Structure 1
Amino acid sequence: MHLSFIENLSVGSVKLSTEESLHVSKVLRLKNGNPINLTDGKGSSAVGIITAAAKKNVTIQIDEIHSESENPYLLELAMAPTKSNDRFELVLEKCTELGIARIHPLLTFHSERRKLNMERSKKLVLSAMKQSQKIWLPEVMEPIKFNDFIQQDFEGDRILAHCNADFNRASLKALSQKKPTIICIGPEGDFSDEEISLALELGFKSAHMGSERLRTETAALFATSIYHTVTSL
């Protein structure tokens, strides 16, 4: 059954947004009496019954709401957006499907893209959440300078994945644990020596993902997959 998003999920009669209503009525062609799954993207979900299915105004009756108290996705991905916006959007979509709590676009010394269409990015993540039937919507944060980001407080593991063999590195697989974790992925030119040194001074763990040199978007998806594979065992 299709999953629709509603920002304020409550028992009783609720109305979908115009955009969600159009999708339900024109694309899915659902009608009065049809059941529909709903989520607020914050861990709550419900099965409702459509009571009115106008083109831009769909009303749903909800009798019961189910809620999860904690987000099961503990991973946050911090990465430098790729020069090709399509490749960065691929990461947003696939990481949402895999399961992630938050995505931080990083502005690094070698960054090739420094501006993002935040509205488009958030819509893409929302669509991926619905497609993958998840009830937790990943946050897409505003772009932030790398040196500012690594100085923020974080209760959990902080891992810097990079290609520079001049620094001691452990495998990402060995470092992954089932706890809140941030994994940082650099741009096409990798993190600079100065960025790596500063991150390690601030307590980041230095990691590699094997002997292959990966493109930024491949590294981001590979890192997310490694983390989930290791922590789900």
Structure 2
Amino acid sequence: MHLFYTPDIEPSHPQYFLSEEESKHAVRVLRLNVGDKVQLIDGRGGLYTAEIKDAHPKRTILQITDVVTGFNKRNHYLHIAIAPTKNIERLEWFLEKATEIGIDEISLIICQRSERKEAKVDRLNKIITSAIKQSLKAYHPILNEPEPLSKLLSRSFDGQKFIAHCEESDKSNLKQDISLNGKYLILIGPEGDFSPKEIEDALHNDFKAITLGQSRLRTETAALEACFEVNFLNRE
């Protein structure tokens, strides 16, 4: 069954009008017609089943036949703050795979050693949207605009906070420290790692240093490894 992302849909409304772009895709590309069934996701946990009532290429009308709220809601909240990679395609790869595995929020942080200090959030959000459709996720991860690491460190977070870095120091791992079914914020630095001052500031703000294994990982690989570990440890 074909799936559409419809963030403006309301559960109480019996009908929904696809946007012109989505209508054209449904009618001209997918060749859908009156009576065909489709699924819709709103990015807020809603999964809808609908039937096409008018297959118009500019304004397709759907009749909602079933609504599931809280579809596949996960038992934890994962927020990864990652420094944008010099090669933006590596960050795009992380966003796609992390969305498929399971993530709730991503912050883009600018660090002292960052080689990339900007990112087109609109384009990155399209990659996330494509990934939730591919993996049938009803929740759309939040992607925050790039900001200095210092701003993120200054904000409160109601959960466990970790920083993964490469400096030689005492570190634990997520399996040892994680409280299951909780909220987690994990910092992943740029290609040149966090600076000693940034690590010190994070620890001062109650972040705990962790290791993600013995290998030296690329930024996007480290972030995905953290994402996988959190989801695996919280698997019911």
In the TM superposition, what are the counterparts of 1:91-102 in structure 2 within 5 Å? Answer: 91-102=94-105
How much does 1:211 deviate?
1.1
CA displacement 1:51-96 (0-9 Å, x = unmatched): 1222232210113422129952511111001000110000111111
Equivalent residue for 2:112?
Answer: 109
- Per the normalisation by structure 1, the TM-score is 0.94
In the TM superposition, what are the counterparts of 1:1-233 in structure 2 within 5 Å? Answer: 1-10=1-10, 11-68=13-70, 71-72=73-74, 73-165=76-168, 167-178=169-180, 179-232=182-235
Structure 1 segments (4+ residues) deviating >3 Å? none
Gaps of 5+ in 2: none
CA displacement 1:89-124 (0-9 Å, x = unmatched): 001111110111111001001111111111101111
How much does 1:8 deviate?
2.4
Percent identity of equivalent pairs: 37
Check whether the contact 1:161–1:172 (CA below 8 A) recurs between aligned residues: no
Check whether the contact 1:157–1:182 (CA below 8 A) recurs between aligned residues: yes
Distance 1:90 1:107 in 2: 19
Q: Match of 1:44, as an amino acid?
A: G
Distance 2:203 2:54 in 1: 57
Check whether the contact 1:76–1:182 (CA below 8 A) recurs between aligned residues: yes
Distance 1:50 1:215 in 2: 46
Give 3-state SS (helix, strand or coil) of 2:166's partner: coil
CA RMSD of the aligned region, Å?
1.6
Distance 2:179 2:30 in 1: 40
Q: How many residues align?
A: 232
Structure 1 stretch 23-32 or stretch 191-200: which is displaced more?
A: 23-32
Gaps of 5+ in 1: none
Distance 1:77 1:19 in 2: 32
- Per the normalisation by structure 2, the TM-score is 0.93
Q: Match of 2:184, as an amino acid?
A: T
